[in-house]
Amino acid sequence: MKLLFEESSQGRHLDLIPDCDTPEYRLSDDALRKRQARLPELSEVDLSRHYTQLAKQTHGVNDGFYPLGSCTMKYNPRIDEEMAGLEGFADIHPLQGQDSVQGSLEVIYRTKELLCEITGMDDMTLQPAAGAHGEYTGLLLIRKYHLDRGDTERVNIIVPDSAHGTNPASATMAGFKVINVPSNAEGGVDLDELRKVVGKDTAGLMLTNPNTLGLFDPNILEITKIIHEVGGLCYYDGANLNAIMGRVRPGDMGFDCIHLNLHKTFATPHGGGGPGSGPVGCKEFLRDYLPGKMTGKNENGYYLYTPAKTMGQVRSFYGNFLVVVKALTYILTLGKEGVKEASGKAVLNANYMKERLRKYYDVAYDTTCMHEFVLCLERLKKEKGVSAMDVAKASLDYGIHPPTMYFPLIVHEALMFEPTETESKEVIDEAVDVYVEIYEKAQSDPEYLHSAPHHCPITRPNETEAARNPILKYEWQD
């Protein structure tokens, strides 16, 4: 497919940019371009076709099954987008007077209240822009808490070896030292190993439950107790909340602070580079450290305030507000029972898919899973030379987005599936049939799979190069 620059033809144009309606301001000469910006010149129809063609080459939830584990790629109802598009939400300015945005402050306040109820927290900031940003904010909360009490010895954050990569990264960014704890044979935290590493230097623990293997740790109360007994705090990575919302709450599992991914669980699509939101919730004793501004409510209405010992701001203004509008719409549309039903179906779908697939592929931890599960293709690799990558790439030919590959790191040749609650039994059955067909192909013609996909616009890009050295800029030849 040609780039817009290659399609460009001098003199052709479209008038999308309106005439300037403010007085012109002339920059000083040294700030001006030496030559005209060389923008591609196209007609509107060429431009429209270009992007439509591009859109056809990609794969989204609206195109088909998207079981990308740990990402919760579910269908997000259109009504959520519609609400976020309302003028009263979309066209306001963050510096507008509080009196004129009472409705928006109410959205922030009510979303916070509902998310606190769902998670068992006492207060919450909606400022962080992503999960990892929430982790960083939560760790600063923990840091502030210890330092405020004059406890300067606590430099370690304990992270299980099954953790999402952002956990150790955030802990390092927040100035902590990361201590790894291994998993036990069941895929949970090894309690004996945990006891060995805790002490006066423990600032806290970061954990997601269900973990990235899709398993709920049955020792969770013991785990948080071990940390609390040495004076540490427990941080809950809530990116996997889709499995438990409406059923069990991190606050009741013993966690002191948490983040959520609104762009996974609560109606904003994940991935694609759009805005996200990683609210951070905490128990009462941490609320004074939360980043400002927070939204409060009194007899005169809603107002903004800065918490007493705030860590400061972690992002401009109030976070990605329209993502919050979508989350509130989603929760109110589902209602209390609907939220519970969603997590129930997410878990049911994952277990159904796992049970059908395990007759062909090995399941990494062969027990009841939560909203996702991990296959281990080590045996297939050894016997037939077919890797997790080969199987994932082959599924593209069938219009299925690949599952998460080679993660979590503790499972070799891992494929991690998360079918989500919005898929029907028929869709899951069709997907399983595809994976069975690929399995049979692996037995009869492994070579074919090494070069899959065979019917996609691109086959096997160099993934490292594509991630590390993306070509984002067009170089004119002359």
Ligand X SMILES: *Cc1c(COP(=O)(O)O)cnc(C)c1O
Instruction: Name every residue whose Cβ is closer than 8 Å to that of residue 476 and which is 6 or more positions away in sequence.
Output: 5, 38
**Of 265, 429, 267, which Cα lies nearest the Cα of 355?**
429
Instruction: Report the alpha-carbon distance of residue 315 to residue 295 in Å, rounded.
Output: 15
> Which residue type does 27 have?
L
Instruction: Report the alpha-carbon distance of residue 22 to residue 114 in Å, rounded.
Output: 43
**Site map for ligand X, 192-221, x if CB under 6 A?**
----------------x---x---------
> Which residue type does 376 have?
C
Nearer to ligand X, 111 or 240 (CB): 240
Nearer to ligand X, 183 or 208 (CB): 208
Instruction: Report the alpha-carbon distance of residue 365 to residue 184 in Å, rounded.
Output: 11
Nearer to ligand X, 156 or 212 (CB): 212
70 binds ligand X (CB under 6 A): yes
Structure-block tokens of residue 82: 């519609």
Looking only at residues 278 through 307 of this chain, which bind ligand X when binding is defined by CB under 6 A? 278
**Of 206, 209, 270, 202, which Cα lies nearest the Cα of 240?**
209
Q: Residue 206 CB, nearest distance to ligand X (Å)?
A: 9
Structure-block tokens of residue 107: 């959205």
Structure-block tokens of residue 209: 């439950």
Size of the site for ligand X (CB under 6 A): 14
Instruction: Name every residue whose Cβ is closer than 8 Å to that of residue 38 and which is 6 or more positions away in sequence.
Output: 476
Q: Which residue has the tokens 């623990």?
A: 205
Instruction: Report the alpha-carbon distance of residue 365 to residue 185 in Å, rounded.
Output: 9
Q: Residue 136 CB, nearest distance to ligand X (Å)?
A: 10
Nearer to ligand X, 251 or 269 (CB): 269
**231 near 259, Cβ under 8 Å?**
no
**Of 378, 130, 145, which Cα lies nearest the Cα of 272?**
130
Q: Residue 325 CB, nearest distance to ligand X (Å)?
A: 18
239 binds ligand X (CB under 6 A): yes
- Residue of closest CB approach to ligand X: 131
Looking only at residues 319 through 358 of this chain, which bind ligand X when binding is defined by CB under 6 A? none
Nearer to ligand X, 166 or 224 (CB): 166
**388 near 414, Cβ under 8 Å?**
yes
261 binds ligand X (CB under 6 A): yes
Binding span for ligand X by CB under 6 A among 130-138, 348-356, 384-392, 403-411: 130-138
Nearer to ligand X, 240 or 349 (CB): 240
Q: Which residue has the tokens 């945990």?
A: 194
Nearer to ligand X, 371 or 441 (CB): 371
Nearer to ligand X, 208 or 224 (CB): 208
Q: Residue 39 CB, nearest distance to ligand X (Å)?
A: 33
Binding span for ligand X by CB under 6 A among 237-245, 290-298, 430-438, 458-466: 237-245
Nearer to ligand X, 131 or 291 (CB): 131
Q: Residue 406 CB, nearest distance to ligand X (Å)?
A: 15
Q: Residue 264 CB, nearest distance to ligand X (Å)?
A: 6
Within a 10 A sphere around the Cβ of 317, how many other Cβ atoms? 12
The residue within the footprint of ligand X, chosen from 104, 111, 156, 166 (CB under 6 A), is 166
Sign of CA dihedral 66, 67, 73, 78: positive
371 binds ligand X (CB under 6 A): no
The residue within the footprint of ligand X, chosen from 240, 265, 320, 349 (CB under 6 A), is 240
Nearer to ligand X, 295 or 404 (CB): 404
The residue within the footprint of ligand X, chosen from 121, 126, 132, 179 (CB under 6 A), is 132
Nearer to ligand X, 111 or 387 (CB): 111
Cα angle: 268, vertex 279, 181; to 5 degrees:
105
Nearer to ligand X, 138 or 453 (CB): 138
Binding span for ligand X by CB under 6 A among 43-51, 112-120, 125-133, 139-147: 125-133
The residue within the footprint of ligand X, chosen from 67, 120, 128, 131 (CB under 6 A), is 131
Residues making up the chain, counted from first to last = 478
Structure-block tokens of residue 421: 């609650």
Strands 123-125 and 280-282: antiparallel
CB-neighbour burial class of residue 40 (10 A; exposed 0-12, middle 13-18, buried 19+): middle
**216 near 209, Cβ under 8 Å?**
yes
413 binds ligand X (CB under 6 A): no
Sign of CA dihedral 84, 89, 92, 95: negative
Radius of gyration over alpha carbons of the chain, in Å? 25
Q: Residue 126 CB, nearest distance to ligand X (Å)?
A: 14
Looking only at residues 26 through 55 of this chain, which bind ligand X when binding is defined by CB under 6 A? none
Q: Residue 240 CB, nearest distance to ligand X (Å)?
A: 6
Residues interacting with ligand X, by CB under 6 A? 70, 130-132, 164, 166, 208, 212, 237, 239-240, 261, 276, 278
